[in-house]
Structure formats: structure tokens, C-alpha cells
Structure 1
Amino acid sequence: KYLLRRAFEGDYLPTNILYREKAAFSDAVGHSLVNDLKDYAESCYTQKEFAERCKAYTYAQPFTKESLLYRELFEKYYPGQAEMVAGFWMPNRSWEGCDVDDPSARVLSNYGASGL
């Protein structure tokens, strides 16, 4: 508690670090890794394969090649247990600028310059 208070008072962290724009939680692994995962998923399936393989899932059907890749990995280790996951980790589509098909905060209109 003391360190946190000191950080906000400016004597622990330099002000330019304390108040700099932060990456969204989902992108904290680094933008290049996020891009590499998307590129890898794109290379795993043709459009036809993607469409066909998605049909196998009636609950929480994958909607991108990346989400299909994650779903197939999940099913490999936890077969038939997808319904224990209540939903996708996605922005609330009813909020302005949040009607997107990508869980990355970088696609949101209010994300800021760090997402570039």
C-alpha cells in the first residue's frame, strides 16, 4: 500500500512512466506476438476449411481463423467441455466503437496510439 501511494505521489516511478499510455490487457504480450498468432492461424486453414470446421461447433462457434485455432486446441485437451466457458472475451458490442469481431483492444476506435 505504501509503495502504491508513493508511485502515485511521483517519488517512486517517474511521472512519464506512471502516466504513459498502457497496453490493453489482451495485448500486453506484445503487438508482434498478437500479429504472429493471427498470421499463424490464417496459414492453418483455407476459407473452405475454416467454414467447414466451424460447423462442428454448435456452442460458441468460432468466428475467425484465430478463434477456430484456439477452439481446436481447447477441444484437444478438454473435449466436449466448451460449455463450461460462458462466452467469448469480447468487448461489449453495445458500447460506441466496440462492435468488433476481434478480441484485441487494438481494433477499438478509442484504443489510442499504442496500438499502432
Structure 2
Amino acid sequence: MYDVLRADRCISVHSLEARVPFGDLAFVDYVMHIDPEKKMNTYGKGKYLLRKAFDKGYLPESILMREKAAFSDAVGHSLSDELKAYAECCYSDKEFEQKCKQYDFAKPFTKESLLYREIFEKYYPHQAHMVKDFWMPNQAWEGCQVNDPSARFLANYGDSGK
């Protein structure tokens, strides 16, 4: 009730994420004594040992070994697709071009980004300068030259969501 919330707030303020249940000292001690070779991802599946720990009938195989969704898609591909479709219905191409012209900082580049910008402006008028940039893959990295924040458009994304 107290320590977890405090840890969450203290760590989150520095843009980090704690996995508090994994911070149990006995658990940490146990994990630190596992042969480092076994902790290397030579299994072709991320978090293999953690998945294997639950391979005792607790979870269906389809959930236990499913591909991890990237942070950008954790709400599910269908919701992301529906939001894009909704944004497409909100603006004609002409409206999109006109509305984008009113922004001289962080100009929306898709109808979806315009929708989010308008929602942001509704609740935080004239505060966009506080947001440094769009949440997008780093264009300087190989395979990240995409025009969508969703990780599933990256060349190395894998089979998540299939």
C-alpha cells in the first residue's frame, strides 16, 4: 500500500519503471545465483526463463509463449487501427491540410496525429512547446525510417499481434 506506491512515484518521476514484485530480496538473490549462461537469450524467445517458470499449467501455452507487444501497441492492434480509421473520418484531406497550418511547432503529420494534437490543445491550450517531440522511432536507427509511432511498422518487429 505504501512502499510500492512510493517506489513507483519516485522512480517514475525519473522516467524509469520499477518491477516492484521482482524487487523482493529473496527473489533477487535467487536470480543472481542463476548461471549467467542460462540468462542469455539463446532460446529465441525473450524472457524465456520467466516464461518457463510459469510453464506449470498456470497459463495456457498460447498466452505463455505469445510474442510480446511493443509499448506502442500494448493496447492492441485493433484499437490502434480503429483510432486511425476514426481520425480518417474526422477530417477531409482539405481540412487536414488547413488545420495543420495553424501549428508552427510539432506540426501534425497524419490525421491521427492531428486528432491527438487537437485533444491536447483542448486540455492544455498553447502548451505544446513543453513537449519536445513526437513519440516516434529514432529515424537515425537502421530500419526505423517510418511515419507511424507503432512498432509493428519496423522491419525487426516480429510476429506480435498475429
Q: Which residue of 1 aligns with 2:113?
A: 67
Structure 2 residue matching 1:75: 3-state secondary structure: helix
Q: How far off its partner does 1:72 sit?
A: 0.3
Name the aligned partner's letter for residue 56 of structure 1. Q
- Measure, in 2, the Cα distance between the counterparts of 1:36 and 1:98: 23
- The structure with more radius of gyration: 2
- Measure, in 1, the Cα distance between the counterparts of 2:128 and 2:86: 23
How is 1:31-46 mapped onto 2 (pairs within 5 angstroms)?
31-46=77-92
Residue 87 (structure 1) aligned with residue 133 (structure 2): yes
Q: Which residue of 1 aligns with 2:104?
A: 58
- Measure, in 2, the Cα distance between the counterparts of 1:109 and 1:9: 25
- Measure, in 1, the Cα distance between the counterparts of 2:81 and 2:51: 36
- Measure, in 2, the Cα distance between the counterparts of 1:112 and 1:8: 20
Give the length in aligned residue pairs. 114
Instruction: Provide the TM-score with structure 2 as the length reference.
Output: 0.64
Q: Which residue of 2 aligns with 1:100?
A: 146
- Measure, in 2, the Cα distance between the counterparts of 1:72 and 1:50: 12
**Per-residue Cα deviation, 1:52-72 (whole angstroms, up to 9, x for no partner):** 000000000000000000000
Instruction: Provide the TM-score with structure 1 as the length reference.
Output: 0.88
Residue 14 (structure 1) aligned with residue 14 (structure 2): no
- Measure, in 1, the Cα distance between the counterparts of 2:155 and 2:67: 15
Q: Which runs of 5+ in 1 are unaligned?
A: none
Name the aligned partner's letter for residue 41 of structure 1. A
- Measure, in 2, the Cα distance between the counterparts of 1:54 and 1:35: 22
RMSD: 2.4
Contact kept in structure 1, 2:139 and 2:146, CA below 8 Å: yes
- Measure, in 2, the Cα distance between the counterparts of 1:114 and 1:8: 18
Q: Which runs of 5+ in 2 are unaligned?
A: 1-21, 32-48
